[in-house]
Amino acid sequence: MDRRNFLKIGMSAVAVAGMPFSMDAQAEEPSAKQPVFSIDGNRIRLQQLGLKKPVRLLVLADSHLSIDDERGEPYKDYSKRMAQYFKQSIQNLEKNTTAAQKQKYDMILMLGDMVSFPTAKGVETLLEAIKPLETPYAYIAGNHDWHYEGEEGTEIELRKKWCGKTLASLFQDRNPLCYNMMINGLNIVMMDTSVNEVLPEQLDFWREQVKAGLPTLLCCHIPLWVPGRGLAWGVGHPDWNAAHDKNWQVECRPRWSESGHTDVTKAFCKEVFAAPNLLGIVAGHVHKQCYNRYEGKFQVTSAATGLGGQLDLSLS
């Protein structure tokens, strides 16, 4: 590949409306302001974005706490399968948060499946574990956080129910479906993707974020599909449908839709990757640290915090 084509396809970026974070395939010469991406283990840096001040984020996902008490008794039949897993999750979470106390983070992002079912004791344990960091946090739900396996209701109904009950304190009065926060000029958008779909109000919210034009980081639980990734990257996966849903009986949940994603979800995926102000996406769910670059945007997933994983993400 010649140099010119490499620059077109690779890390090329030009300023759009003076913002160096915008990727554009038309750039033909390197610029001092192109974004620089680097990974050292779980330390990820995205530099030369033009932020007012650097932002450092601790990303926790999939801690899968299953600690429970008498408040979970009525739901024991629904929680017993998931309660067998991640036996070291509390110790691994505490190791993580203890190590993090030596660092200075601007925010903790908790990207779902922080508990293996909506256990009140689990949520309290999580909040206790992050308390010594004295750092603001943001949370978005994962598919296990609100799921008692076998409980009657659609996924959307169960999410709404538990996000308003045991998970409510994690949201700090924010909208559980989507909200945003500004830190040092960075717009952090928290978007619930825990049912592999988004709702019309979430798409509308995303469109507002694009319209605002601020450098934006999208954070969610289930990552958006990119070519080459499997069904765990379920938001927008072309094979996400009933025929390909292998786990619905094991997980005691409704089967995925016969017809696959809604038009709203399809539009969301398309518009996310097309957004000129999107810096990248951070997600959980796959329990593995992965990196993709697609349509000029990076998407990174964190290893499971319940197994010792986390991301240390810096943007500047």
Residues in touch with Fe ion (CB under 5 A): 113, 142-143, 285
Beta carbon of residue 253, minimum distance to Fe ion (angstroms, whole number): 12
Between 113 and 312, whose beta carbon lies closer to Fe ion? 113
Minimal distance, residue 228 CB to Fe ion, in Å: 20
In the complex with Fe ion, which residue's Cβ is closer, 21 or 240? 240
Angle CA 13–17–19, to nearest 5: 50
Q: Are 224 and 269 in contact (CB under 8 A)?
A: yes
Of 12 and 310, which CB lies nearer to Fe ion in the complex structure?
Answer: 310
Q: Strand 137-139 relative to strand 107-110: parallel, antiparallel, unpaired?
A: parallel
Closest CB to Fe ion among residues 43, 255 = 255
Q: For Fe ion, which is the closer residue by CB, 186 or 303? A: 303
Q: In a 3-state reduction of DSSP, which class is residue 86?
A: coil
113/197 with CB nearer Fe ion: 113
Q: Tell me the closest approach of the beta carbon of residue 288 to Fe ion, in angstroms.
A: 12
Q: Is 195 buried (19+), middle (13-18) or exposed (0-12) by CB count in 10 A? A: buried
The tokens for 297 are 């945007």
Closest to 93 in 3D by CA, of 72, 106, 118, 110: 110
Query: Which residue is nearest to Fe ion, using beta carbons?
Result: 285
C-alpha–C-alpha distance, residues 101 and 156, integer Å: 36
Nearest CA to 108 out of 164, 169, 58, 173 is that of 58
CB of 162 to Fe ion, least distance (A): 14
Residue 48 or residue 289: which is nearer to Fe ion going by CB? 289
CB of 297 to Fe ion, least distance (A): 22
Least gap, CB of 34 to Fe ion (angstroms): 34
Could you tell me the smallest distance in angstroms from the CB atom of residue 102 to Fe ion? 29
Q: Which tokens in the block code for residue 192?
A: 């619930």
DSSP category for residue 241: S
3-class SS at 155?
helix
In the numeric block, the tokens 């605002």 are attached to 212
Q: Which residues contact 124 (CB under 8 A, 6 or more apart)?
A: none
